[in-house]
Amino acid sequence: MYEKFEKRAEEILCTLTLKEKIGQLNQVPQPVAGNLEETKERIRRGEIGSFILCNSPTAGNEEQQAVMVDLLNELQKVAVEESRTGIPLLYGRDVIHGHHTVYPIGLAAACSFDPELVKKCYHCIAKEAASESVHWTFSPMIDVCHEPRWGRIIEGQGEDPYLASRMAEAMVKGFQGEDLTADDSMLACAKHYVGYGASEGGRDYFRTEISDYTLFNSILPPFRAAVKAGVATVMSSFNDINGQPVTSSKKYLTDILRGELGFEGFVVSDWTAVHQLMKQGVARNSADCARLALTAGLDMEMTDNHYIANLENLVLSGEISEEVVDLAVKRVLKIKIAKGLFEKPYKEPYKVDRTEHIKLSEKIAAESMVLVKNEDNLLPLSKDMKVALYGPFTYERRALQGSWALDGYLGASTPNFLEAMNEVMAGQKGHIHHSYEGVLHDDCTYIFSQNDVIVLALGESHAATGEARCSADIVLAPNQVEMARKAKQSGKKVVGVIFCGRPLALENIEPYLDAILIAWHGGTRCAHAAAKTIFGEYNPCGKTSVTFVRKTGQIPLYYNITKSGRNVDGYYGEGYAQNYIDSLGSPMYPFGYGLSYTSFEYSAPEVDKATISLDGLLAGENVRVAAKIKNTGERTGKETVQLYIRDHVASCMRPIRELKGFEKIELAAGEEKEVVFNVGAESLGFYNFENKYVVEKGHIDLFIGENCLTNNLVTIEIV
């Protein structure tokens, strides 16, 4: 995709001195008032190729300076008109899941199971950020993760490689659009390559142990999808894999990323990751850091200055060939050319009409919310009811946007839950009685008794999630559990609306709640989406993108496990000596799970052929598997129909279930629709111990159902 810019990049490269080449590989933080003139002088000397528009590595939970287009144009003018090279600067910013309009965190958006909707939302993000001269976003994060204690699980798409792959493709295409030179396009960056989501113990930046078998089958698929979608850049991860830091690994950055996946863009380090090679014990000094990273295939260094300080001497001393530098510089130049920066280096600021963006923010927030409990069909509530609204998220705004919302508008632009509830109930007979800032008053029992139903706005702060925000125990705060207990004691029905960033362990609070809506950190219109769902204006249709454990001690717990030789597969059914003696082993809510205000009935799946030849599959033939889904309730509703497979006997142990397809459909009451999946070699194979993709003969179960625990199956044989 980017090879077509090779010739022009070569022509530019030939005009550069060695120092100027190295400058293109140097990314620095945005300047502050005190060092502005010094920064301009460095630009004139060709020492800076890119800026990251923030001033700290954990920008997601720290206030950042707003993007100033005039300043960026001023710096760009120095690069284009006052430097010898005339090469424009590349501006990157952590525009993760929204700019001024904020959309649900990645983990929540994946619960929509709607890649097309995600693509539309991410294109809106690109429009807003690109209008302010942000060329490049450090998103999407596509780390497959089994570790909800890890604060950054919020940014990814959960535990499943297929779902993450579909979302990765959607987000890359949403950000980049059809034309990278367009005014509403941003360069995407697939991160963190690779294995960062497997940090041991859920500790950020920590070590990982990942076999190649797990890497190729579970971790790499979203990156493969992002590369196929044309992602312009990739960010390397902090972690080591089996004692080998990714930042200095030719195996991961060159052999696999470029050789196996076919990536053509450039690789940027994470913040100070090159410097950390010394702390990780593979580099003795700054020069070692630069040499190891560059020769491994890391093209641009983020904020470390090891390249700019050492590469010239390393080349002149013969420790590094100048051709290695040239290769990295060409990759950076090709992306700058592809973005159209040479033709349009400046940005004329203009106002973006956010009307449609805000509508989409509410739509995806609503479709990402997951109804996980609804005893006696308590929800939806009637707007004629008297509602006691309590809890810490009654008045909350900032946390609704989640971590990594650097530029999200607050105030009236992000209504709180009380405002949304009052607006939804306006003009109706019912009313809201709310507490002061969610505090549990002594008179709450009396207040509860005077209302028809209790709605508790619960959750975790945005500051409890994100980078360097890991938790050893992922439960709601004790005062929230006590509030739920007291509400339940009133004898009234209790609805829990949980605004969270991770899949919390809910065993200690679930008995006190008659209905539970997982509202997530859902962005700008999260509160309205939740309120409208509570009152039935939206029929919930989200499905869990990650397993909800009962208690923290069950972690890691994920659905696509291999089968043990003993009865310890508690995910798929409790039994004697299955997992623990002090706890159930099964999840609180499994992967792909979510309730609706209507009900759906699945027919048994049928296939067009019970046997298929291996040669036929490899030649492109498919098995057609279909099931009919009927809305047996009284409301129109959406259902995500999920396809799973199980390979009974293979040369390598295979998962008990693997998601291989899904389709989200909408059915009116009484309506029935047939959903068809065409299953081919790309779904029925796996990477073996030699890292080769193989399809093998044998029996395969094909499941079509409402979540990963479905037993609605048909069996085929590959012969």
pLDDT tens digits, one per residue of 371-384: 999 999 999 999 99
Active site residue 270: yes
Mean pLDDT, the chain, rounded, equals 96
For the segment 81-100, the average pLDDT, to the nearest whole number, is: 98
Question: Cα-flanking dihedrals φ and ψ of residue 175, to 5°?
Answer: -65, -50
Give every CB contact of residue 110 below 8 A, 6+ residues apart in sequence. 156, 157, 158, 163, 164, 167, 368, 545
Burial (CB count within 10 angstroms: exposed 0-12, middle 13-18, buried 19+), residue 427: exposed
Positive/negative CA dihedral, 413, 419, 420, 425: negative
Closest CA to 423 of 436, 437, 409, 412: 412
Residue 12: strand, helix, or coil: helix
pLDDT greater than 80 at residue 345: yes
Give every CB contact of residue 101 below 8 A, 6+ residues apart in sequence. 124, 125, 128, 354, 357, 358, 361, 408, 409, 523, 524
For the segment 334-350, the average pLDDT, to the nearest whole number, is: 95
For tokens 């199980």, the residue is 646
For the segment 409-438, the average pLDDT, to the nearest whole number, is: 87
Alpha helices by DSSP H, 301-451: 306-316, 322-339, 355-368, 398-401, 417-425, 444-449
Structural contact between residues 608 and 624, judged by C-beta atoms closer than 8 angstroms: yes
pLDDT greater than 90 at residue 437: no
* Its pTM surpasses 0.95: yes
- Where do the domains of the chain lie, and which CATH numbers do they carry? 361-554 (3.40.50.1700), 598-718 (2.60.40.10)
pLDDT of residue 651: 97
pLDDT greater than 90 at residue 244: yes
Structural contact between residues 275 and 306, judged by C-beta atoms closer than 8 angstroms: yes
Lowest mean pLDDT among 16-30, 425-439, 535-549, 684-698: 425-439
Place 61 in a pLDDT band, splitting at 50, 70 and 90. confident
pLDDT of residue 442: 67
pLDDT greater than 90 at residue 581: no
Q: In 10 A of CB 437, how many CB atoms? A: 9
Please give, one letter per residue, the 3-state secondary structure of 593-635.
CCECCCCEEECCCEECCCEECHHHHHCCCCEEEEEEEEECCCC
pLDDT greater than 60 at residue 481: yes
Q: pLDDT tens-digit profile of 456-475?
A: 999 999 999 999 999 999 99
pLDDT greater than 70 at residue 582: yes
DSSP label of 216:
I
Closest CA to 704 of 600, 611, 617, 552: 600
pLDDT greater than 70 at residue 439: no
Counting residues of the chain whose pLDDT is more than 70, the rounded percentage is 98
pLDDT greater than 90 at residue 434: no
pLDDT of residue 438: 52
Please give, one letter per residue, the 3-state secondary structure of 304-342.
CCHHHHHHHHHHHCCCCCHHHHHHHHHHHHHHHHHHCCC
Closest CA to 681 of 654, 705, 660, 656: 660
Give every CB contact of residue 137 below 8 A, 6+ residues apart in sequence. 92, 93, 94, 95, 96, 125, 126, 129, 175, 186, 187, 188, 189
For tokens 């005190």, the residue is 34
Separation of alpha carbons 658 and 340, rounded Å: 41
For the segment 290-305, the average pLDDT, to the nearest whole number, is: 97
Separation of alpha carbons 217 and 466, rounded Å: 26
* Structure tokens that stand for 274 in this block: 């090159």
pLDDT of residue 349: 79
Please give, one letter per residue, the 3-state secondary structure of 151-175.
HHHHHCCCCCHHHHHHHHHHHHHHH
pLDDT greater than 90 at residue 10: yes
pLDDT of residue 160: 98
Place 60 in a pLDDT band, splitting at 50, 70 and 90. confident
The CA distances from residue 405 to 140, 471, 504, in Å, are 14, 20, 21
Place 568 in a pLDDT band, splitting at 50, 70 and 90. confident
pLDDT of residue 429: 85
pLDDT of residue 719: 98
Lowest mean pLDDT among 48-57, 210-219, 495-504, 568-577: 568-577
Strand partners, 639: 665
Burial 459-485 (b: 16+ CB within 10 A, else e): bbbbebbbbebbbeebbbeeebbebbe
Structural contact between residues 235 and 267, judged by C-beta atoms closer than 8 angstroms: yes
pLDDT of residue 565: 86
pLDDT greater than 60 at residue 299: yes
Q: pLDDT tens-digit profile of 258-279?
A: 999 999 999 999 999 999 999 9
Rounded to 10°, the helix 161-176/115-130 angle is 40
Separation of alpha carbons 434 and 422, rounded Å: 10
pLDDT greater than 60 at residue 511: yes
- Tell me which of 94, 270, 299, 407 is the catalytic residue: 270
Separation of alpha carbons 308 and 317, rounded Å: 15
